């Protein structure tokens, strides 16, 4: 896309979003679509919902409650809870009160919570339950700005503690304040301007302390309009919220886009229940990280095997679908018989698989936040799931490039979305500019100056390349580049992604700085390991002993041999070590957004690494 087109698109988006905030859009929905369902959740066995009018009413009550607690413009309200209605109500209540909500990953340890809460000087914290409360109570004396905690569950245990309220206490305070002053929230909300902060999104801290990305109302509205023009999701889309709302991918794709497009959002409190919620919601938009798509793929493979009579036909149909997508991608023609076979498979197999997944109404399916194996995209596209890869980061309010229907290249992350300019620096670093680019890092002027330059470009830290048609390919992170003993620069992302495509693999970390060859540390998936063991008539006791079994070693060697065929010889892994540990945000090897903390892994498994080079 040429710079003139980009400038014209940016100007059109500027005009379309002029003066709009999340609050003006929220009010529009309550007035225009007031009786339509806005958010859904489950209580026991019953499904509940709020209409847009009801949603606005409870947001106003919560906002008035926050104002009665002393919340003022430019304050921050910390939120540490799962994907549930109170979470987004509290977030919208904060901006209606002139403040901003800051969602904190529920997996963070006490010292990490303390850092984030102290950095933004959170005045009120909305917490899910007593488990979270214990961590906050232990650090409260280190947070002088924190005045109140609102507990969604368990507040009765603090009924004599003045600084702890229940959620109902907050709403009741709000109702009393509104009874005394009906225009209280209208005044505070009406003062919001497009350049005001709507939230801080804290980066996962893969290379240092987390940084609070300052995201304004204008960033959000501008990005939502970009997405509307790029992927055309339609009016009133249906979505499922299940990824952490501390992650820009979830926050943008359901919470903010839900407001922008007056959509319906089903709030799923546990990622392990996402399939149930997808089957209920029948979403028209669904966003997932690669690991979720891998899980769906693995579950489908297991389900295919449950029907031995039809297994061969189903697998043949899936392979045929993937092959049709490959042919289209390579520009090859498709013969009449293959087209006819595809129509029959659609009727007999694909439509039923999609219905079983709850994805029969999907119009837009996105994979983002990490590299994904192209084979997974071919598989899902082959069975009719419209899966496209998107690239972006918190600092760009989420998306910057995307593949879209009719303009896609599997293996790439697509072209820049409307109004966004992407260029490559001399060293191949991806730079981006446009209304999606945020205002920098909160209270971090030096880090902001390093990442956001004076020409308006955001320096992503990712390396990329364009093909002749303007599709962007991600090479890897600048800081992850391995320089081997021969001085060759090697990006580990491609091979790590290839090996993680195996159902047994949870995470992989390539090693090889200053070494004569590459090696890899592999962590297994604790959910898949027992299933694989049962399928192969192996007794599973624990992950550590399972990882040492000759059958598992042989399976990983075969997977590595296959993955090595996808890269150049210098990029191939010669040795690997399977570790028996579960990698999680709690143990530190990965971030809450499932990104690898390479330095942690290299330090933790130093002796294993040395053994591979001895």
- The helix (H) or strand (E) run that includes residue 178 is helix 167-180
User: Do 207 and 478 touch, CB atoms closer than 8 A?
Assistant: no
Q: How far apart are CA 87 and CA 327, in angstroms?
A: 45
β-partners of residue 285 are 364
User: Do 314 and 348 touch, CB atoms closer than 8 A?
Assistant: no
> Which pLDDT score is estimated for 424?
98
Is position 223 within any domain? no
Digit-coded pLDDT (tens) for 276-288: 999 999 999 999 9
User: Do 241 and 267 touch, CB atoms closer than 8 A?
Assistant: yes
Query: What value does the mean pLDDT of the chain take?
Result: 95
Q: What is the mean pLDDT of residues 539-556?
A: 96
For residues 253 and 146, membership in a common domain is answered with yes
For residues 259 and 298, membership in a common domain is answered with no
For residues 404 and 317, membership in a common domain is answered with yes
- The helix (H) or strand (E) run that includes residue 336 is helix 336-345
The token pair that represents 16 in the structure block: 């379309």
Residue 4 confidence class, pLDDT cut points 50, 70, 90: low
Cα→Cα distances 578→58, 364, 534, Å: 51, 37, 20
Is position 222 within any domain? no
Is position 13 within any domain? no
The token pair that represents 226 in the structure block: 């970009």
Q: Which residues contact 259 (CB under 8 A, 6 or more apart)?
A: 22, 25, 26, 29
Q: What is the mean pLDDT of residues 180-184?
A: 98
Q: How far apart are CA 58 and CA 50, in angstroms?
A: 9
User: Do 353 and 381 touch, CB atoms closer than 8 A?
Assistant: no
The domain in which residue 92 lies consists of 22-192+234-283
Digit-coded pLDDT (tens) for 484-498: 998 999 999 999 999
> Which pLDDT score is estimated for 168?
98
Whether the predicted pLDDT of 542 surpasses 50 = yes
- The helix (H) or strand (E) run that includes residue 126 is strand 124-127
Digit-coded pLDDT (tens) for 82-111: 999 999 999 999 999 999 999 999 988 899
- The helix (H) or strand (E) run that includes residue 606 is helix 606-612
**HEC profile for 287-329?**
EECHHHHHHHHHHHHHHHHCCHHHHHHHHHHHHHHHHHHHHHH
For residues 271 and 295, membership in a common domain is answered with no
For residues 473 and 488, membership in a common domain is answered with no
- How many CA atoms are closer than 13 Å to the CA of 286, on its beta-carbon side? 27
For residues 393 and 298, membership in a common domain is answered with yes
Is position 316 within any domain? yes
Is position 301 within any domain? yes
- Tell me the three state secondary structure of residue 425: coil
Digit-coded pLDDT (tens) for 319-329: 999 999 999 99
> Which pLDDT score is estimated for 592?
83
The radius of gyration of the chain's CA atoms, rounded to the nearest angstrom, is: 25
β-partners of residue 46 are 43
Nearest to 417 by CA among 9, 22, 16: 9
The torsion angles phi and psi of 78, rounded to 5 degrees, stand at -80, 140
For residues 362 and 445, membership in a common domain is answered with yes
Is position 227 within any domain? no
Nearest to 140 by CA among 120, 157, 156, 123: 123
Whether the predicted pLDDT of 2 surpasses 80 = no
Q: Which of 425, 445, 478 is the last residue of a domain?
A: 478
Domain count, the chain: 3
Q: What is the CATH number of the domain that holds 164?
A: 3.40.50.12780
Nearest to 285 by CA among 368, 192, 175: 368
For residues 490 and 449, membership in a common domain is answered with no
Whether the predicted pLDDT of 339 surpasses 90 = yes
Digit-coded pLDDT (tens) for 419-455: 999 999 999 999 999 999 999 999 999 999 999 999 9
Is position 208 within any domain? no
Digit-coded pLDDT (tens) for 104-163: 999 888 999 999 999 999 999 999 999 999 999 999 999 999 999 999 999 999 999 999
Give the distance from CA 429 to its chain's centroid.
Answer: 22
Digit-coded pLDDT (tens) for 454-467: 999 999 999 999 99
246 by Cβ neighbours in 10 Å (0-12 / 13-18 / 19+) ranks as buried
Tokens 């903390």 correspond to 597
Is position 110 within any domain? yes
> Which pLDDT score is estimated for 224?
98
- Tell me the three state secondary structure of residue 523: strand
The torsion angles phi and psi of 405, rounded to 5 degrees, stand at -55, 130
For residues 586 and 449, membership in a common domain is answered with no
Helical segments of 69-162, H only = 85-96, 110-120, 130-139
Q: How far apart are CA 247 and CA 256, in angstroms?
A: 12
For residues 372 and 457, membership in a common domain is answered with yes
Q: Enter the pTM of the model.
A: 0.91
- How many CA atoms are closer than 13 Å to the CA of 380, on its beta-carbon side? 29
For residues 567 and 525, membership in a common domain is answered with yes
Whether the predicted pLDDT of 573 surpasses 60 = yes
Q: What is the CATH number of the domain that holds 597?
A: 3.30.300.30
For residues 528 and 573, membership in a common domain is answered with yes
Whether the predicted pLDDT of 1 surpasses 80 = no
> Which pLDDT score is estimated for 206?
57
Q: Which of 478, 494, 528 is the last residue of a domain?
A: 478
Q: Which of 460, 478, 496 is the last residue of a domain?
A: 478
What is the side-by-side strand order in the sheet with 421-424? Answer: 421-424, 429-433, 458-466, 472-477
């Amino acid at each position: 896309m040429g710079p003139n087109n980009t400038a014209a698109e940016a100007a059109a988006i500027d005009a379309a979003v002029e003066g709009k905030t999340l609050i003006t859009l929220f009010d529009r929905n309550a007035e225009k679509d007031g009786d339509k369902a806005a958010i859904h959740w489950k209580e026991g066995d019953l499904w509940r919902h709020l209409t847009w009018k009801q949603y606005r009413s409870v947001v106003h009550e919560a906002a008035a409650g926050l104002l009665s607690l002393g919340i003022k413009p430019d304050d921050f309200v910390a939120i540490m809870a799962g994907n549930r209605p109170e979470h987004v109500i509290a977030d919208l209540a904060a901006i209606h009160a002139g403040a901003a909500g800051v969602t904190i990953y529920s997996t963070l340890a006490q010292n990490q919570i303390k850092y984030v809460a102290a950095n933004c000087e959170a005045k009120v914290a909305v917490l899910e339950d007593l488990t979270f409360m214990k961590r906050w109570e232990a650090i409260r004396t280190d947070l002088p700005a924190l005045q109140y905690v609102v507990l969604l569950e368990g507040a009765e245990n603090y009924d004599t503690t003045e600084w702890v309220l229940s959620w109902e206490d907050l709403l009741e305070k709000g109702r009393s304040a509104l009874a005394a002053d009906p225009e209280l929230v209208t005044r505070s909300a009406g003062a919001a301007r497009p350049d005001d902060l709507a939230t801080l999104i804290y980066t996962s801290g893969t290379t240092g302390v987390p940084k609070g990305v300052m995201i304004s109302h204008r960033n959000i509205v501008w990005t939502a309009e970009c997405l509307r023009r790029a992927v055309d999701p339609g009016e009133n889309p249906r979505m499922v919220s299940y990824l952490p709302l501390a992650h820009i991918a979830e926050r943008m794709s359901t919470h903010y886009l839900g407001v922008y497009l007056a959509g319906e959002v089903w709030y799923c409190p546990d990622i392990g229940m996402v399939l149930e919620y997808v089957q209920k919601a029948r979403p028209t938009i669904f966003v997932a990280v690669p690991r979720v798509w891998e899980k769906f793929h693995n579950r489908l493979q297991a389900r295919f095997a449950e029907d031995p009579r039809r297994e061969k036909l189903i697998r043949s149909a899936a392979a045929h679908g993937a092959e049709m997508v490959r042919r289209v991608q390579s520009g090859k023609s498709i013969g009449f018989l293959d087209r006819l076979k595809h129509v029959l498979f659609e009727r007999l197999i694909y439509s039923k698989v999609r219905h079983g997944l709850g994805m029969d109404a999907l119009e837009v399916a996105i994979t983002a936040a990490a590299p994904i194996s192209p084979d997974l995209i071919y598989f899902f596209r082959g069975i009719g799931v419209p899966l496209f890869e998107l690239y972006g980061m918190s600092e760009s309010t989420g998306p910057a490039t995307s593949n879209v229907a009719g303009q896609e290249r599997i293996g790439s992350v697509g072209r820049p979305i409307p109004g966004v300019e992407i260029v490559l620096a001399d060293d191949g670093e991806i730079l981006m500019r446009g209304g999606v680019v945020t205002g920098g890092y909160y209270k971090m002027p030096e880090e902001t100056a390093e990442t956001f330059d004076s020409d308006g470009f955001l320096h992503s830290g990712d390396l990329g390349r364009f093909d002749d048609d303007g599709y962007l390919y991600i090479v890897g992170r600048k800081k992850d580049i391995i320089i081997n003993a021969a001085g060759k620069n090697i990006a580990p992302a491609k091979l790590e992604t290839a090996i993680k495509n195996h159902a047994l693999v949870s995470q992989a970390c390539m090693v090889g700085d200053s070494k004569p060859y590459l090696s890899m540390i592999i962590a297994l998936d604790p959910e898949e390991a027992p299933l694989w063991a049962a399928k192969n008539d192996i007794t599973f006791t624990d992950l550590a002993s399972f990882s040492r079994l000759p059958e598992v070693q042989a399976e990983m060697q075969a997977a590595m041999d296959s993955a090595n065929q996808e890269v150049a010889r210098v990029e191939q892994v010669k040795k690997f070590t399977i570790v028996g540990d579960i990698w999680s945000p709690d143990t530190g090897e990965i971030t809450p957004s499932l990104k690898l903390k390479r330095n942690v892994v290299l330090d933790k498994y130093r002796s294993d690494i040395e053994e591979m080079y001895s």
